[in-house]
Amino acid sequence: MKKSMNKYTTIKNVGKQGIRMILLLICVSIAAFFLVSLSPVDPLQANVGQAALGSMSQEQIAKLNSYWGVDEPPVERFLSWASDFFRGNMGISLLYRRPVSEVIAVKFANSIWLLGIAWVISGVMGFCLGALAGMKQGTWVDKVIKGYSLLIASTPAFWLALVLLMVFAVWLQILPVGLSVPIGMEAAGVTLADRVRHAILPALTLSITGISNITLHTREKMIDIMESDYVLFARARGESNWSIFKNHGFRNVILPALTLQFASISEIFGGSVLVEEIFSYPGLGQAAVTAGIGSDVPLLLGITVISAAIVFGGNLIANILYGIVDPRIRKGGAGL
């Protein structure tokens, strides 16, 4: 009886968070739409006036006007854009001349490898380094790890990318400068090996920068745990450092680390914008820059909403996992 009650509250909580996420997403799209409407640049003038406009049907142009035309009031434009967006029609990219959803799908498929690899590497490495430093607080191991993390946190990702580019691509010439697809090759002709080779440097840059934040936060948590009453008592009971880590440190640090890991999605994505631009990696980040520079408003809005959805989705997953892993929430206790 009691168990089913708890299950019910869990589902209710997840539902609540899901609704909150959807509302936030709606607000994000309103805010983003509001921001691009403020711009002095008229996206239609900037793009559609060009030669390629001829290739568009009259109907498409009318559609574009209803979203971005300066004559229409912004609220109406938003509603017509949002209602189409809701039905899966994100509009036509002004630069790529293809549906935004298609462009995003292709770019996302490219990015997901890069982001995924960097996310896993920075998460695992950051956790290990942070936990180690926190356990050994004040020793030289801690100082080296903390120093490295602080230094990297102060280093702009794009400059680190430039340095790696100089070392590996220009100086040692062991890795390609950029481009996920070598020029002059059909997309189908790209081998997996090519893809991997071109993803190494961007993934490396993202991992190196991603590690530092996770390390620093995990370290702080670990230090808190090491100063807790239960670790004090464990020590009083003769547990060794290893036993304390195995029994208490790991168990207690993994929960905040999990949250941190999902919260870091936003940061990794932000980093990918810069890194993809530098390595000419045709992913979502590069598309965002291109769209921003070229006033491709439909694409820019599409990417904003999708990436916000990914970030909120990450937070939602973290909350759900927390509920599953933490016995105090799982068993319907008072929580933290």
Interaction with other proteins in 8-37: which residues (CB under 8 A)?
24-25, 27-28, 31-32, 35-36
CB of 261 to other proteins, least distance (A): 16
Alpha-carbon torsion angle 46, 52, 57, 63, nearest 10:
-20
Question: Mapped to the 3 state alphabet, what secondary structure does 179-191 carry?
Answer: CCCCCCCCHHHCC
Asked if residue 177 binds other proteins (CB under 8 A), the reply is yes
Which of 64, 203, 222, 288 touches other proteins (CB under 8 A)? 288
184-203 binders of other proteins (CB under 8 A): none
Q: Would you say 48 or 255 has its CB closer to other proteins?
A: 255
Asked if residue 72 binds other proteins (CB under 8 A), the reply is no
With contacts defined by CB under 8 A, name the span among 107-115, 118-126, 181-189, 233-241 that binds other proteins.
233-241
With contacts defined by CB under 8 A, name the span among 8-16, 39-47, 76-84, 103-111 that binds other proteins.
39-47
CB of 233 to other proteins, least distance (A): 4
With contacts defined by CB under 8 A, name the span among 65-73, 87-95, 212-220, 239-247 that binds other proteins.
239-247
- Three-state SS at 175: coil
Tally Cβ neighbours within 10 Å of residue 101.
17
d(CA 27, CA 159) in angstroms, rounded, equals: 34
Tell me if 279 sits within 8 A of 165, measured CB to CB. yes
306-325 binders of other proteins (CB under 8 A): 307-308, 311-312
d(CA 93, CA 226) in angstroms, rounded, equals: 53
For residue 331 the two structure tokens come to 């068993």
For residue 48 the two structure tokens come to 């559609």
- What is the maximum alpha-carbon separation in the chain? 80
Asked if residue 238 binds other proteins (CB under 8 A), the reply is yes
Which of 60, 65, 66, 247 touches other proteins (CB under 8 A)? 247
154-173 binders of other proteins (CB under 8 A): 154-159, 162-163, 165-166, 169-171
- Three-state SS at 106: helix
With contacts defined by CB under 8 A, name the span among 99-107, 191-199, 214-222, 305-313 that binds other proteins.
305-313
Query: Under the phi-then-psi rule, with left for phi > 0, alpha for psi from -120 to 50, and beta for the rest, what region is 323?
Result: alpha
Asked if residue 5 binds other proteins (CB under 8 A), the reply is no
100-139 binders of other proteins (CB under 8 A): 138
Asked if residue 39 binds other proteins (CB under 8 A), the reply is yes
Q: Which residue has the tokens 């070392």?
A: 167
Q: Which residue has the tokens 């620093």?
A: 216
